[in-house]
Amino acid sequence: MKRRFLRQIPMTLPLLFAMVVLFAIFVGPAKYLKLSNIMNVIVQCTSGVGIVALASFLAICSTGVDLSLGGIVSLSGMLTAKLLTWDVPLLSGLREQSPALLLALAVLASIATGALVGSLNGLILSRTNIPSFIITLGTYKICETLSRVIADGTTVRVNGNAAFEFIGGGSLLNVQQIVKQGARQSVRTVGVLPVSVLILFFLYLVFSIVMKRTRFGTYVYAIGGNYDAAELSGIDTRRTRFRAFLLGGMIAAVTGIIMTSRLTAASASNGLGLEFDGIAAAVVGGAAMTGGRSTPWRTLIGAFIISVLRNGFNMIGMSNSLQMIAIGAVLIFVVAVDAARNRR
Amino acid sequence: MKQAFKAHADALSRLAAVALIFAILILISPSFGTITNILNVLRISSLTLMIATGIAMCMLVGGIDLSVGATIALTSILFGRYFQIGHSALEMVMGMAGILALSAAIGASNGLCVAYLKLPPFLATYGVQQIARGLAYLLTEGLVYSNFTEEFKFIGGGYALGVPTPILFAAALLIAIGLMLNKTTLGRRIYAVGSNREAARYSGINVKGTLLTAYTLSGLTAGIAGIVYTSRLNCAEPTIGAEFAQQAIAAAAIGGISFKGGHGNVFGVIIGAVILTLITNGMTLLGIDSNWQVGVTGVIIILSVLIDRNTAKKKV
């Protein structure tokens, strides 16, 4: 009974707590635990690995891996920026007459693109025996190419679109903070309810319900637990895996939109490396590469751990190269501990 | 005769694919068929070829190696520090031995993670990749090394008997690995572990040792490729090789090395690397924007694996 209860707590939650305490000690509690820094970590997590991790989790849980996520983030972010700023008669006319409609159109088109790439992954995956690793590597390259072609060698800037900037940079509730810089005092506004973070929590909430309460979720866990058994018990494994990758593509597209909105610009390789961060987050959150384990909420904790690590290392002043080494080491360590636990 | 043909149908169809692409490219641009250009294509493919043979071994035992690009970057940086003009010959030889040992050690750490800690190869080699690249950045200290000795520049940039040296290195490596895979017990063990790990263990094969050896050899081939590449480029930077692992995996996949392990051979890797280079080279020849080339590579990876009946076949 007691062991069962202990198993309910993800082992990563204490890890997250320990890390926050550790960084607070190193950096200085007053600086590290300041509201603006905490919100900074959360927002950075959201526009980076946070939402992508959910897509990675879906792919991994259904015994696959999705390397195209980073490409989808780049492509959808680029597409949003381009649609909002493109000077063709139809779009510029729409921009003047009803900017809200154009924004909705751009967002929908980006998510549809994510869905398209995701369904391409899912289609090949469910019709052939090719490992998801190689399929998504191919689609990553296709996304990257399209993104570069749209960018045409430049960074696409989205200026002066308040409604769009609100998605990634806005906040429903702001707190005024007095910031001391030497002798000067200034008032800074810290958003404590950022829109992007609300989107993140909404997505995780939806998917935690989907994974727990719907047939799709049960099927995904069943496939991850034992693929052959799932197939023999009549589960349509092909369709389930197809859906997992389709949803993953759409989720990644949301990240692309948020990222472009936060930076108010899109470059061709914005999402570079996010697919691996997402996998790392899912694994740190307790997912097994063989599938069928972990939950959306645990994945979110994993994503926060990655973000806290990056933020903490930055605040300590650790160089980028050392950060790479440290994150590589953390990843191997966590997976090794997990593998050892599973063997017992 | 018919049986012999059937046994080699796979290899023949691949060869036919190369011939077809080659013929199309010659039709489009006659200058493609010149000896100079053919040697050029072979020289460019030789790097992918060397890396791909290493990765192919990891794939044959049912794994993957994502760390090769970072290994090449790290060896390259170390060469940058050791092979500057002003070092003695002895120092250089010792440096080269040490660096090859290091690249083998990186491979071995992949192998240890996979064989003994039971980590998924994909994650283990990604983690090691991060660490190796971080070290490469750390050791660079913000410099770019390019002041190499003439002897070192010859390794990757010279000609022997009219043939560019990288081709000779790749050929030597391929023959060695090919012989190892086909004629030695280690080769048999690699195929056995890849096709059925449990069966291999029950028949008394040291599975962990075989995995460790395969990954170590992959690290070592990456080290050799790193030497040749640095010498050819005449420059050492920590950003080198970000795409190499993907390129080599693509070459191996096109060449029919199965992702499930146990199936494929060195000949396939050669074909894969040549096809990949031919297509890139052809696109450059046709004046296609380099942006599109990346995407075409992606499409080719998927298509070639789709066409390959060994990997695309659905489980029965």
| Interface contact B127-A335, CB threshold 8 A | yes
Indicate whether B285 belongs to any domain: yes
pLDDT at A244: 95
Interfacial residues of A (vs B; Cβ cutoff 8 Å): 65, 124, 127-131, 133-135, 137-142, 144-146, 148-149, 276, 279, 283, 289-290, 319-329, 331-332, 335-336, 339-340, 343
pLDDT at A8: 52
Interface of B with A in 209-238 (CB under 8 A): 238
Residue B313 scores a pLDDT above 70 = no
Q: What is the dihedral of CA A195, A199, A205, A211, to 10 degrees?
A: -170
Most confident of A263-272, B66-75, B118-127: B66-75
| Interface contact B299-A142, CB threshold 8 A | yes
Written as six digits, the tokens of B141 are 């200290």
pLDDT at B2: 58
* pLDDT more than 70, % of chain B: 94
Interface of B with A in 45-104 (CB under 8 A): 64
Cα gap A147→B200, rounded to integer Å: 46
Residue A197 scores a pLDDT above 60 = yes
Indicate whether B66 belongs to any domain: yes
> In this predicted model, what pLDDT tens digit does every residue of B242-256 receive, in sequence order?
788 888 888 888 888
Residue A13 scores a pLDDT above 60 = yes
> In this predicted model, what pLDDT tens digit does every residue of A218-275 receive, in sequence order?
999 999 989 999 999 999 999 999 999 999 999 999 999 999 999 999 988 888 889 8
Interface of B with A in 189-208 (CB under 8 A): none
Which of these, A255, A295, A302, A258, lies nearest to A279 by C-alpha position?
A302
- Say what the pTM is: 0.86
pLDDT higher at B207 or A21: B207
State mean pLDDT over B89-105: 88
pLDDT higher at A20 or A228: A228
Indicate whether B154 belongs to any domain: yes
Other beta carbons less than 10 A from residue B284's beta carbon: 11
| Interface contact B312-A321, CB threshold 8 A | no
Rg over CA atoms, chain B: 20
The amino acid occupying position B216 is T
| Chain B residues closer than 8 Å to A329 by CB | 127, 131
Rounded to the nearest integer, the mean pLDDT of chain B is: 85
Chains A, B: CB contacts under 8 A, how many? 130
Indicate whether B251 belongs to any domain: yes
pLDDT higher at B98 or B312: B98
Number of domains chain B is built from = 1
Indicate whether B4 belongs to any domain: no
Measured between CA atoms, the residue of chain A closest to residue B260 is A131
The DSSP letter of residue A126 is H
State mean pLDDT over B236-241: 83
Residue B96 scores a pLDDT above 80 = yes
> In this predicted model, what pLDDT tens digit does every residue of A312-343 receive, in sequence order?
888 888 888 888 888 888 888 888 887 777 66
Indicate whether B248 belongs to any domain: yes
The band of A1, judged by pLDDT with boundaries at 50, 70 and 90, is: very low
Phi-psi group of B234: left, alpha or beta (phi > 0 → left; psi -120 to 50 → alpha; rest → beta): left
Indicate whether B1 belongs to any domain: no
pLDDT at B6: 58
Measured between CA atoms, the residue of chain A closest to residue B62 is A131
Beta-carbon-side half-sphere exposure of residue B94 (alpha carbons within 13 Å)? 5
State mean pLDDT over B280-307: 79
pLDDT higher at B272 or A90: B272
The whole domain housing B197 covers 13-308
Q: State ipTM.
A: 0.80
Q: Which of B117, B122, B291 lies nearest to residue A149, judging by beta carbons?
A: B291
> In this predicted model, what pLDDT tens digit does every residue of A47-89 receive, in sequence order?
889 999 999 999 999 988 999 999 999 999 999 999 998 888 8
Residue B310 scores a pLDDT above 60 = no
State mean pLDDT over A286-294: 84
State mean pLDDT over A167-174: 84
Query: In sequence order, which residues have a C-beta less than 8 Å from that of residue A200 and are 6 or more positions away?
Result: A46, A50, A51, A300
pLDDT at A9: 58
Rounded to the nearest integer, the mean pLDDT of chain A is: 86
State mean pLDDT over B1-25: 74
Indicate whether B315 belongs to any domain: no
The band of B315, judged by pLDDT with boundaries at 50, 70 and 90, is: very low
pLDDT at B316: 32
Which of these, B251, B65, B86, lies nearest to B152 by C-alpha position?
B86
Q: What is the CATH number of the domain that holds B54?
A: 1.10.3470
pLDDT higher at A180 or B51: B51
